[in-house]
Structures are given as structure tokens and as C-alpha cells.
Chain A
């Protein structure tokens, strides 16, 4: 059934929700499906312990990445030929890779790339897409039609392909370029989410009341509408971060992200699987995989919790 929070105007699965509005299929679920347990479980009043554990984990990882150069870590690119493929030891806490580089340092420095591409691109995409979404949803009319059509054009490209091809033509790859490309691909998705929630909020009685009382547009948008848009926006932004991390990881795995020897989680895993490295030392492949798994689990869980905490309220009004 067309769900109540459907993003397209007619409520029908137009190209908006069915065709292209999602980065990958994970997001369809988030966008089209009714709040997962709304029908059976009462709305969750609290975010739950798990949410805070996940948040704590993500914050801790982010701090590690930010403070990496201040921490007593080894140089992630220093090759110690006397200690190749050592297992975990006191000297190298997680061991070394096939070139004798300290794995712990590589993972933490590598997570910088993943985390900054993930968070910065979504933040940038949200700044652009979210602002346009609020303008389009609030103003309606031609403004809405124009911006909306623009978003469909970008959404018509398969996202991974778009990122890959633009990146291939825009050499050499740097962190900033990656962030810009990811933001450009993500912005239309975030635009659609924000626009849909803005549309829903704009129609509410209290907005009409505020308008009748003579409130300025600025006040209506920032005080009446924005607080209703933020929860949905954040929960989708978290999924966006997870997706960006997956895509950056895949690019790095294929050797198409940041150039070597700069560590990135994907290229550590990739190096760990090549040249029979798996037979000699499984840690360089296993540990970054584990890191990514835990990070993505935390992000998706947080997004899910936020949705089931806030969407119910939104739909029931």
C-alpha cells in the first residue's frame, strides 16, 4: 500500500519513490515502508539503551580518528621490514601487515577517510539538499516544480556509477573531491526527504495559525517547520552516512578512492586479501572488516531507532 509518508505528491509510486529517490534499495524501505513496528508495537517513547551505546561507539570512533595524530600511534605508512605480518603483540597491538606497517595505526588513520567522507559529504549534501527541500516544500508552485525536476535528473543516474565515473574523469582523487562528489549524489535524496517532511508540516493547523497571526516566513520556517523536519532529516542522514561509508569503502577496495599509500579501510582490506596474504595473516583483512561492520551497524541502528521514535508521531498527526 502507498504509505502515508510517501514522498510523491499523488501518493502513488511515481519515479520519485519507486524509481530513483533512493541511494540504494535500503533506503526504499526507510522511505516507503510504514514505521516498522507501528502496527504492532506502541510508539517507542525512548530511544533505548542500544541507541546510546551506538552513539557512544560512533562518537568514540570519531574522536579516535580526529585525534589520531595526537595519539601515541605509529606512523601508518612506516614500513618495518623486521616485523612483517606479525600477529598482535605488545609492540604492535593489532600486529602488522605484509609491509610491516602497524595495523592499528592504519585502521585508525584509514577510518579518517571513511568517516570524513561519510559525515562531511552528508553534511554538505544536507546543507544544499535540505535547504532546497525546505524552500521547495514551503514555497510550492513553480519553485517546487523546478527544484523537484532538477532532483529527478540527478536521481536518474545509478548513484555508484555516477560517483565512479565523475571521479574517474576528475583526477587526481583527493578527499575534498570525494566529499563534493558524494554530496552531489546524496543531496537530491536528502532533498526529497526534507521536502516531503516540509510539505507535511506546512499543511498543519499550527502553521496556518502562525500565518494568520502574521508571523514572518522566516519565523514560520525556523520555529514551526524546522523542528518537525529535523528528526526525519537526521535519521535519513545517518543512513546516508552509512551508505557513503560503504561506497567509499568499495571504491577504496577497488583502488579508486584516495591514492595509496594513504590508508583507507577499503584499501587495507583489499591489500589484506591480495597475494595470498590471507593464508599468512588474516588480521589485515579481518579487523578493518569488523570495524566497518560495527560502524555500519551502529549507524543503521541509530537511524532506525530515531525513525521509530519520531515517525510514529509524524504519521499519526
Chain B
């Protein structure tokens, strides 16, 4: 077990290093002079030289990387060219929004998906299962931007209740905060429900065929007890893996929802930084998001091993 964890940690560090190099090189590898992209083609050579110096681009590549990494470790991810706001500052605004969106939407998704999967797996291929499985297919074919558009269509045009845009902090007003997070969370949750339902259902169907379930049934335990206490845990590994990937990608994948509802999360800020060609912000946020993605998956891997004794021994 200790060796397993150790290997994983070494892997995590190695991949983090590669990610940091890749994100660092983004500005360098891609074609075009960064000063031209930032200042525009018509600026004076003096200004370009100043900018090169400010960016540290006049030094060697390795030196640049170490300076950059050193700054990153000291919490300095650079500053926006347009707003002069530091990237860490922007992140401190963005991260709580994303965390809240992720928590609310994923809790919603799980609350719907788990009972539904339990009910459907109890009698596979019967009506409930068929309906739920077909619906989940439908939901998978609805990208967030389509769900949000149709949602806005219904709310704004049919019910004349415009969806709330903008964000109110939890510390300011609980009700307003909830209102600003509710619709985006539902939009995100719908897709997740379909994924979680399908993952859990197919694993449950498999587990319910196993001998220990028959054994539990023959002891006279109720179906509810068998489903929740015996079958759920060994069936939850794919679900957990899916959850990890979902959460990790939502850190940046909530772009569309944040854009529609004007929530200044990481996705939205990245979007505006990209539009403003604000490369340092893009670089800083990409680094943080990629590391977060990696780290969440590491935690999920770890959880999987503690939940599944077979992996622990392997």
C-alpha cells in the first residue's frame, strides 16, 4: 500500500512538472512574436524591448522557466495586461464561484442519479429502466449550450421570467446567492445526471448477479437493504471515477454556463482573457486549472483504492 501511494505521488509530481513546462512553453512555442501580439504591430521598438524585459523574455529559456516557477511558488502568477489585476487576485474571486457551482450541481446530479439507478437496476429492461435509460441518452445528446438556450427560451420567452445573471456572494445574501447559482447548476447537473445514472446502473446490474447478493436475499433481507448496503458500494467505482473527471473538467468546463449567466468563474475569466489576448492570465489560469484537474483525479484514484480492497492489494 505504501509503495502504491509513493508511486502515485511520484507520478503526480512528474506530471505536474511536465504540465508546468508545457504551460510555460505555450507563450514560446507557438508562432508569432509575443510583443507583437500584446502591443500590436505598430508599437515602437523601445516599447517592445521594455515589454520583453518585463516579461523576462530577453533571458535564456531555462532561466526564464525557473524565474517563472519561483514566482509561481511564491503565489505570483503574473498580472493582467488589461486590468492590472494580479492573476492570483482574479483566481481568489473565481475559485469560490466554481467550487459552489460544482458542489451544488454535482450534489443535485447525485441526488437524482443514485436513487434512479437503484430503481432501474432492480428490474433491468422493465419500464422504469427503459424510460430512464432512453432519457439519459437524450440528455447526453444535449450539450450545455443547447440546454441553456432551451432553458432560457422556456424561461424568458414562455414564462417571461428572465434567468438571473451575475453573481451574488454567499456572504452577501444567501437567497440571492442561491438564485444566481441555481439555474447554472441545473444546466450543469442535467448532463451529469445522465452520466452518473448510466455508470451506476450498469455496474449495479452486474453486481446484482453476484452470489453474495443472492445470499443476502436468501437470508431474507429486504430489497432496499440489499441494494443500499450490499450492492451500492461495490458498484460505485465507475461512478466515482466519472465524478472525478466531471469535477476536474468542470473547473474549466463550466465556460458556457458561466458565459451565459455572467458568473466570473475560472471559465469566464479565461474566456475574457483569451478575447483580450491577455496571455499571462491565460497562462496562470491554465496552470492552476490543469493542476487542479490532476490533483482531483489523484484524490479520486486514492479514494478508489481505499474503497476497493482489490486495488489496494494489486
Contacts and interface: CB of A to CB of B under 8 A. Distances in A.
Interface string A13-24: 111011110101
A248 to B, nearest CB: 10
Contact of A1 (B237, B241, B260): B237
A269 B145 contact: yes
Interface residues of B, number: 79
A37 B157 contact: no
Contacts, number: 218
Range class of the A interface residue count:
35 or more
A28 interface: yes
A110 to B, nearest CB: 14
Contacts of B209: 39
Given A250-B145, A250-B255, A157 B157 contact: no
A289 B149 CA distance: 8
B270 interface: yes
B202 interface: yes
A279 B252 contact: no
B16 to A, nearest CB: 8
Contacts of B275: 255-256
Nearest to A2: B310
A58 interface: no
Contact residues of A: prevailing secondary structure: helix
Interface string B205-245: 11101000000000000000000000000110110111111
B8 to A, nearest CB: 8
A44 interface: no
A279 B157 contact: yes
B203 interface: yes
Given A12-B305, A32-B237, A164-B255, 14 more contacts: A3-B238, A15-B11, A19-B298, A29-B195, A29-B238, A36-B198, A37-B205, A153-B15, A156-B290, A157-B293, A166-B26, A168-B282, A250-B143, A285-B153
Interface of B: 11, 15, 18-19, 22, 26-27, 30-32, 37, 124-125, 137-138, 140-146, 149-150, 152-153, 156-157, 192, 195, 198-199, 202-203, 205-207, 209, 234-235, 237-238, 240-246, 248-249, 251-253, 255-256, 259-260, 270-271, 274-275, 279, 282, 286, 289-290, 293-294, 297-298, 300-301, 304-305, 308, 310-311, 314
